[in-house]
Amino acid sequence: MLIGSVFLAAGSTVSLADSKTTAKVVASKGKLEILDNPIVFDRLRIIRDKRTKPFVFRESMDEIARQLIYEAVKNLPMKTVAVRTPVGKAECKCIDRTKGVFFVTILRAALGMSHVAEKIAPHAEIHHLGMYRDEDTLKPHWYYNTLPDFKKRKDVSDIRVYILDPMLATGGSICESIKQYVDKGIKEENITVLCVISAPEGIEKIFKTFPKARIVTAAVDEKLNDKGYIVPGLGDAGDRYFNFAPSK
């Protein structure tokens, strides 16, 4: 048990009592952390409710994102520095800002999470990746990718990458995103995926493809439906966050 989260090591299982389902997740090849926090549970209730107004939805999503980020960045490289207080000298731990930190926004739904990340870690680089999902095949298709090659950076082995996406459904877009960074020299074990709600199918796909990656999520739901939506989920996170009602 971790403070503020439940950690699942390889081969362990968790019953999803908070989502009132009988589903279980098997973390067979990777590290999965599920937030265990009353504030998070309360905000999850709010964002799941279809009656929730857009501005309340945004506030609640931002609060969950904040909790996810605080949990995820526990693996940031640290150092000790001496500072002068008004009454003496103190040895303090702080983030080692010589090591790279990337927050990766998967457009468009993760823009809100990115806004929270900028406030928590203003020294971090913010990257944007754009993919859309084919509604028939459920496969991701690129429309925006301008990432440079990181292999020549002196700190490449220490760079921490945090991929932001509120909904982990099939896992296709996130796997494509992880691949971009691994192919450019980032260590797989230094990549963390942050999601508000996750489906067992997406978790399994990520750990099968990238067994050293890490996932931090606020909830794991029952399953995906035949359209690739998380059940019970919360609907389309991007549409609800940005108060967008597509024509039917």
Q: Which of 13, 49, 98, 137 is catalytic?
A: 137
Number of domains in the chain: 1
Most confident of 6-20, 75-89, 125-139: 75-89
Provide the pLDDT for residue 6: 53
DSSP E strands: which ranges in the chain?
Answer: 5-8, 12-15, 24-27, 31-35, 78-85, 88-95, 101-107, 125-133, 140-145, 160-164, 167-168, 191-198, 214-220, 223-224, 230-231
Name the 3-class secondary structure at 190.
Answer: helix
Catalytic annotation present for 183: no
Q: Which distant-in-sequence residues (6+ apart) come within 8 Å of 43 by Cβ? A: 60, 61, 63, 64
CATH of the domain at 232: 3.40.50.2020
Record the tokens describing residue 104, joined without a space. Answer: 């990766």
Q: Is 246 a member of any domain?
A: no
Q: Is 223 a member of any domain?
A: yes
Catalytic annotation present for 137: yes
Residue with tokens 């440079």: 148
Q: Which of 52, 133, 153, 158 is catalytic?
A: 133
Q: Is 101 a member of any domain?
A: yes
Catalytic annotation present for 66: no
Q: Is 247 a member of any domain?
A: no
For the segment 86-128, what is each residue's pLDDT rounded down to a tens digit?
999 999 999 999 899 999 999 888 898 999 999 999 999 999 9
Which residue range is the domain that position 128 belongs to?
5-241
| Residue 231, CA atoms < 13 Å, CB-side half-sphere | 10
Q: Is 95 a member of any domain?
A: yes
Q: What value does the mean pLDDT of the chain take?
A: 86
Q: Is 16 a member of any domain?
A: yes
Q: Do residues 20 and 220 make contact, with C-beta atoms less than 8 angstroms apart? A: no
Q: Is 197 a member of any domain?
A: yes
Q: Is 248 a member of any domain?
A: no
Catalytic annotation present for 239: yes
How far is residue 4's CA from residue 37's CA, in Å, rounded to a whole number? 6
Phi, psi of 28 (to 5 degrees): -80, -30
Q: Which of 18, 96, 158, 239 is catalytic?
A: 239
Average pLDDT over residues 177-192: 94
